[in-house]
Structure 1
Amino acid sequence: MHWSSYLEPLAHGAWVTIQFTVYSILFGTVCSFAFGIGKLSKNWFIRWFSIVYIEIFRGTSLLVQLFWLFFALPIAGDMVGLDLRLPPPVAGVLALSLNLGAYGAEVVRGAIQSVNPSQYEAAKALNFSSSQTVWRVALPQAIPEMMPSFSNLAIAALKDTSLVSLITLTDLTFAAEQLRNFYQDSTSIYTIVLLMYFGMAIVLSVIMRVLEFSVTRWRGVRR
């Protein structure tokens, strides 16, 4: 066995995977709130732009989105005289974030709409504007309801990072494939990879549960 030879490149790949996971969760969360709230906007342009974004990125494969941003977008840019080439890390993070954001937007939209209607009536009675109602009334109550779904999306984001290996990024999956081709030892290499993904998923789950507990406790304090 070449266990010692496996660990260093796999550890480097795991670090790349962790970075992609963190960036995609952060930017994906921003997209989730922006387009989830946007879908409820009274402004027809913002509402329909949000709907189109959500339906496109939920209704198409992440793999296709990744390939389109990395391979097709530069070709489309050349046709109109623009340089739209994206570095592989940017294309990877962008595809992962936009895909995660589309699913997260529906979580945000559903959680906001699940807030008791009496809360909106109270805000209206207090003469709150629409934006004040969303930020001061709806979101503080909706965010704790979003956390279990966001925890699942975070784990999904971790697993989806394996696709960035297809645009030559040296994540954990790419490193494993290189080692497999060199050593012809699929069983040992992918057993290590399985354990590494599982370990990262456990750590991410714990972080999300701590965050969920903190948000729930914060809501209790506000009450």
Structure 2
Amino acid sequence: MSEVLDSYPQLLRGAWITVQITVYGAVLALVLALVFGLAGTARSALPRALNRIYVEFFRGIAALVLMYWFFYALPLLGLRFTPIAAAVLAIGLNYGAYGAEVVRGSVNAVPRAQWEAARALNFTPFQRLRRVLLPQAFALMLPPFGNLLIELMKATAGVSLVSIADLTFRAKQVQASTGQTATTFAVILVVYFVIAQALQVLVRLAERRSDRVLGRRLPTRPAPVAATTGTVVSP
């Protein structure tokens, strides 16, 4: 046990790489989810077709296979990626497809009356999207986005297979040098759990902020109580 704990600097460096890949992959996935998710809500058939092609293709391919393709196959065609770039592209494209469906469903879930009210106020399509639809849809997106973010973080464990020194890669090195398999992987299990909980806390904070912006969690004001009779006085 002590030998594994003495290797904590090595594991911390791996954890930092895991966090970096999670952040980069999440940013790419979010951008793709917004672009293709909004395309899926368009009236024109072409953007909707692009949405379906992207979603069905990348949702149907494992992120690990994409990673192998970017890192091992494309260099044979003259396209070379660094290991981290290959990992971020694979994870971002894969989870962006799932996120695009979340965006499309959330925007379509905004009550139709909100769309009609924005039109009645003579808002341009961009104003309707920015000031009316997206703020309400964003609150609906956050819970499933939180789940996808944690799944994305766990998917980064596969990047060790393309020689990235992430947390799993470092754990294998520690296990090989100490011979303590159970202890080593118990430690990184805890580290992954802590990272997941930190991400969940950030998502919960974003949910609360979104609710406050939309006025869904107004502070409650206690009703004043008459001092003499003890009856509640309506405000």
Structure 1 distance, partners of 2:15, 2:173, is 14
Structure 1 distance, partners of 2:125, 2:138, is 18
Of 189, 194, 197, which aligns to 1:194? 189
* Structure label with greater radius of gyration: 2
Provide the identity percentage.
Answer: 41
Asked if 1 retains the 8 angstrom alpha-carbon contact of 2:83 and 2:163, the reply is yes
Tell me which protein shows more helix as a share of its residues: 1
Structure 2 partner of 1:25:
26
Structure 2 distance, partners of 1:165, 1:196, is 16
Amino acid at match of 1:54: V
2:36 maps to 1:44: no
2:120 maps to 1:125: yes
Shift of residue 123, structure 1, vs aligned partner: 2.3
Structure 2 distance, partners of 1:43, 1:86, is 35
Shift of residue 140, structure 1, vs aligned partner: 1.2
Could you tell me the TM-score, scaled by structure 1's length? 0.91
Q: In 2 relative to 1, CA 203–136 (structure 1 residues): closer, same or farther, beyond 3 Å? A: same
Shift of residue 44, structure 1, vs aligned partner: 3.0
Number of residue pairs the alignment of both structures matches: 216
- What is the root-mean-square deviation in Å for CA atoms of aligned residues? 1.7
Q: Deviations over 1:152-186 (max 9, x none)?
A: 11111110110111110000011111222222211
SS at match of 2:41: coil
Could you tell me the TM-score, scaled by structure 2's length? 0.86
Runs of 4+ aligned residues of structure 1 deviating over 4 Å after TM superposition are none
Matches of residues 164-203 of structure 1 in structure 2 within 5 Å? Answer: 164-203=159-198
Unaligned runs of 5+ in 2: 219-235
Amino acid at match of 2:173: Q
Amino acid at match of 2:89: L
Amino acid at match of 1:25: A
Q: More displaced, 56-65 or 106-115? A: 56-65
SS at match of 1:40: coil
Shift of residue 84, structure 1, vs aligned partner: 1.2
2:106 maps to 1:111: yes
2:145 maps to 1:140: no
Structure 2 partner of 1:163:
158
Structure 1 distance, partners of 2:4, 2:175, is 12
Asked if 2 retains the 8 angstrom alpha-carbon contact of 1:13 and 1:174, the reply is yes
Matches of residues 40-119 of structure 1 in structure 2 within 5 Å? Answer: 40-75=41-76, 78=77, 83-119=78-114
Amino acid at match of 1:205: Q
Asked if 1 retains the 8 angstrom alpha-carbon contact of 2:61 and 2:94, the reply is no
Structure 1 partner of 2:145:
150
Asked if 1 retains the 8 angstrom alpha-carbon contact of 2:33 and 2:100, the reply is yes
Shift of residue 125, structure 1, vs aligned partner: 2.7
SS at match of 2:215: helix
Amino acid at match of 1:192: V
Shift of residue 40, structure 1, vs aligned partner: 1.6
Structure 1 distance, partners of 2:85, 2:49, is 27
Structure 1 distance, partners of 2:39, 2:51, is 6
Amino acid at match of 1:142: A
Structure 1 distance, partners of 2:113, 2:199, is 36
Structure 2 distance, partners of 1:34, 1:182, is 46
Structure 1 distance, partners of 2:165, 2:44, is 43
Structure 2 distance, partners of 1:131, 1:43, is 16
SS at match of 2:7: helix
Asked if 2 retains the 8 angstrom alpha-carbon contact of 1:6 and 1:189, the reply is no
Unaligned runs of 5+ in 1: none
Amino acid at match of 1:213: R
